[in-house]
Amino acid sequence: MFKNEEMEINLGPQHPSTHGVLRVKLHLDGETVTKCTPIIGYLHRGVEKICENQTYFQGQVWTDRMDYVASISNNLGWAEGVEKLFGIEVPRRAKYIRTMLTEQNRLASHLLWLATHALDIGAMTVFLYAFREREYLLDLFEAFCGARLTTTAFRIGGLREDLPPGFIKSAQAFQDRFLPCIDEYEELLTENRIWKKRTVGVAKLNAEDCIALGVTGPVLRAAGVPYDIRKAFPNAAYAEMDFEIPTRPEADTYARYLVRLAEMRQSHRIIQQCIEGLPEGPVMAKIPKILRSEVNEVYHPIEAPKGELGYYFVGEKGGTMPYRMHVRAPSFVNLQALSKMTEGRLLADVIAAIGTLDVVLGEIDR
Amino acid sequence: MTEPIDPQAPAMPEAPTGPYVYDYMAAPNRQVVLPKTVPLPSLRTYQAEVVTAAAADEAKWQKQLADFEVAKAKAEVEGKDAPKPPVRAVPRKDDNDLKTPWPTEAKDADLLKLQELLGDKVEEIFEQAGERVCQVKKEAVLEALKVCRDAASLKYEMLADQSATHYPAAKDFAFSIVYHLTSVSRCQRLRLRILVPEGFIPESACSLYPSANWMEREIYDMLGIRFANHPDMTRILCPEDWEGFPLRKEYPTVGLGQRDIDFRDDRGGVLNRLAMEKAGQMGINLKQPKAD
């Protein structure tokens, strides 16, 4: 006789498809998930507490170590948040370079997502293709700031130095070869029958649930809501850029895949505009060596590859260190939706759901 | 017959005292310097500060003038040259690109609408650095959130972020809790703020905004503020048996035992020996095992 009882299993924290140290407690009825509880905190380092005890300049290096896949976006959020706190206006050239690097980082992040997500679901080839282009982007970051992942690319008030010689040429070379690469990924996946079977209609999350759960980024846009912070609250040089917000109405894993690929094309467009319209001028604003804040609190959101990344600062009068720093990590908030997406579905769809949310544990646990 | 109750209470095992327990709370570099000011941005405080600073400046100038008159009279009596008249100090102008964003009067339609809808439940509204701030009474936070979400002209559908700050130097409150609301349809943002004293249990926002679930758990984990009617008020980032609340200002930033010692400065090996002793008292074996 078959036993008719619920089974409780742990997915992770050491599981290759949980993208880090995520642990998901699952209650299974056969192969159907009846209850799904994500358990986090295995990578908690207390970044917020550390940043309270370091100056605004020192704290910036911690932002690389939160979302280590998209560290330039994190650098941008920190730098712009602090600039908002102090009221610093950044030179236009610095804004353009920031925008360009952030978009290149978005490409790198989406490529890593595509590679690992496809690998989780079973498409091995895309992994190698996507990493080929990502490598080129990481070489560009290395040329700019000397690091591939932990970049600390920006400084408060602008950039540490201008673009290195030959950077624009290499960036343009990447631009010229990248669009056919996206077509290659699409050829491998978009009409692939196995891929569609694993993604169409899987891990649905409609627009109302997305907004109620605070889910942002490609997941929200794949539910048909054209909400992008680059358009809604333009930062850096996004107000001067011409680009579209790709959306899909289906709200499933396949729609999110299409939205992210369309976003990569838009990022490509933005980088091209940055290269062509790069203004001349200084890259650093005039700021004192020691920044002393006034009593102020700011919340600065930017559009990271995974969603809304917000930095909340409280400044003390005469303080060189933030009185309080809080990070609104997109993965942290998005991961709350995992239970809603997977309950009542099959166990194999949990892997697809974790992949499609595109979570990074360094950012969730901070 | 019942036996007479033994009047003597059972002897409790005495808490170990003396040199066996290393009192890590008393270690010198665990002593935390608590902040002395309350950096809570507020238009009212700012205006009061401006008035006080102007009055102090004026008083200083009047004193300079009076001193000058006295010195002049003295010089006349003594037959010396008259001293130079004082020059009023002009605020120093720095040559940099900093434009400090001061709080300003609320002129924004959303804030005025919110004040109209909530009436005397609003404690303060102002704008700073291009952001709207509305501080409401701590008991009325759920009502304020409901108005923000449901009023047709506000429609803040998403709770983007919720966090709290510890203010140990404040008198009538200990924490500020901020709610960062986003209107996805109107592309607007608003910060709702409440001030709560130690031990106060504010209402959870989970019934209105399900995204508050993990954010409130994080606030509880990091600062120890509990929320009423929360579905699962447990720790989220720290282990469930963690002691203390790390983001409180009195929480130390250095570790226990041997970590208190900076071995780089330890030239004579004295600190190392002390650390070994302390570790031994704590039952930690730091010595390398000897090869047989």
Which CATH number is A24's domain given? 1.10.645.10
List residues bridging with B179 in a β-sheet. Answer: B162, B192
Q: Tell me whether A145 touches chain B (CB under 8 Å).
A: no
Which residues of chain A make contact with B180, given a CB cutoff of 8 A?
299, 310, 312, 328
Give the count of alpha carbons within 13 A of A277, CB side only.
16
Domain assignment of residue B144, yes or no:
yes
- Report the alpha-carbon distance of residue A37 to residue A175 in Å, rounded: 42
List, for residues A75-114, the tens digit of each pLDDT value.
Answer: 999 999 999 998 898 999 999 999 999 999 999 999 999 9
Q: Is the pLDDT of residue A165 over 60?
A: yes
Instruction: Tell me what pLDDT residue B195 has.
Output: 92
For chain B (length 292 residues), average pLDDT per consecutive 10? 60 51 53 82 87 91 89 85 80 77 86 87 88 90 90 89 91 92 90 91 91 92 90 88 83 57 63 72 62 58
Domain assignment of residue A81, yes or no:
yes
Q: Tell me whether A332 touches chain B (CB under 8 Å).
A: yes
Q: Tell me whether B240 touches chain A (CB under 8 Å).
A: no
Pair B78, B127 in one domain: no
What's the domain count of chain A? 1
Q: Cα–Cα distances in Å, from A21 out to A42, A50, A363?
A: 6, 22, 11
CA of A322, closest CA in chain B: separation in Å? Answer: 10
No. of H helices and E strands in chain B? 5, 6
What is the average pLDDT score of chain A?
89
| Residue at a domain's end among B26, B56, B89 | B89
Stretch A240-259: mean pLDDT? 91
Domain assignment of residue A1, yes or no:
no
Pair B74, B183 in one domain: no
SS3 A50: helix
Q: Do residues A120 and A15 lie in contact, with contact meaning Cβ atoms separated by under 8 Å?
A: no
Instruction: Tell me what pLDDT residue A327 has.
Output: 92
Give the count of alpha carbons within 13 A of B286, CB side only.
14
Q: What is the largest CA-CA distance in chain A?
A: 78
ipTM exceeds 0.90: no
Rounded to 5 degrees, what angle do the CA atoms B193, B197, B203 make? 60
List, for residues A173-182, the tens digit of each pLDDT value.
Answer: 999 999 999 9
Instruction: Read off the amino acid at residue A343.
Output: E
Q: Tell me whether A289 touches chain B (CB under 8 Å).
A: no
Of A87, A285, A299, the CB nearest to B100: A87
* Tokens of residue B90, six digits: 């002009």
CA of A183, closest CA in chain B: separation in Å? Answer: 32
Instruction: Tell me what pLDDT residue B290 has.
Output: 60
Who contacts A183 (Cβ-Cβ below 8 Å, separation ≥6)? none
Which residues of chain B make contact with A315, given a CB cutoff of 8 A?
39
CA of B61, closest CA in chain A: separation in Å? Answer: 24
Domain assignment of residue B250, yes or no:
no
Q: What pairing do the DSSP bridges indicate for beta strands B131-136 and B188-196? A: parallel
CA of B279, closest CA in chain A: separation in Å? Answer: 24
Who contacts B175 (Cβ-Cβ below 8 Å, separation ≥6)? B164, B165, B166, B167, B195, B196, B197, B198, B223, B225
Pair B207, B126 in one domain: yes
Q: Is the pLDDT of residue A121 over 50?
A: yes
Pair B113, B219 in one domain: yes
Stretch A332-341: mean pLDDT? 90
Give the count of alpha carbons within 13 A of B5, CB side only.
3
Q: The CATH number of the domain where B154 resides is what?
A: 3.30.460.80
pTM here is 0.84
SS3 B273: helix
Instruction: Read off the amino acid at residue B288.
Output: Q
Q: Tell me whether B170 touches chain A (CB under 8 Å).
A: no
Give A32: exposed, middle or buried? Use CB within 10 Å, 0-12, 13-18, 19+.
Answer: middle
Q: Is the pLDDT of residue A36 over 80?
A: yes
Which residues of chain B make contact with A313, given a CB cutoff of 8 A?
none
Pair B85, B110 in one domain: no
Of A46, A89, A308, the CB nearest to B246: A46
Strands across the sheet containing A296-304: A296-304, A307-315, A324-328
Which residues of chain B make contact with A223, given a CB cutoff of 8 A?
none
CA of A149, closest CA in chain B: separation in Å? Answer: 25
Does A323 sit within 8 Å of B39, measured CB to CB? yes
Which residues of chain A make contact with B195, given a CB cutoff of 8 A?
none
Which residues of chain A make contact with B129, given a CB cutoff of 8 A?
84-85, 87, 296, 298
* Residue-range definition of the domain harbouring residue A243: 7-365
Q: Is the pLDDT of residue A185 over 80?
A: yes
Instruction: Tell me what pLDDT residue B27 has.
Output: 55
- Residue ranges of the alpha helices (H) in A122-200? 124-145, 167-189, 193-199
* Residue-range definition of the domain harbouring residue B80: 40-89
Tell which residue, A92, A94, A93, A62, has the closest CA to residue A78: A62
SS3 A17: helix
Tell which residue, A114, A299, A8, has the closest CA to residue B182: A299
Q: Tell me whether B32 touches chain A (CB under 8 Å).
A: no
Does B39 sit within 8 Å of A314, measured CB to CB? yes
What's the domain count of chain B? 2
| Residue at a domain's end among B89, B121, B146 | B89
Q: Do residues A319 and A330 lie in contact, with contact meaning Cβ atoms separated by under 8 Å?
A: no
Domain assignment of residue B96, yes or no:
no
Does B214 sit within 8 Å of A288, measured CB to CB? no
Pair B118, B65 in one domain: no
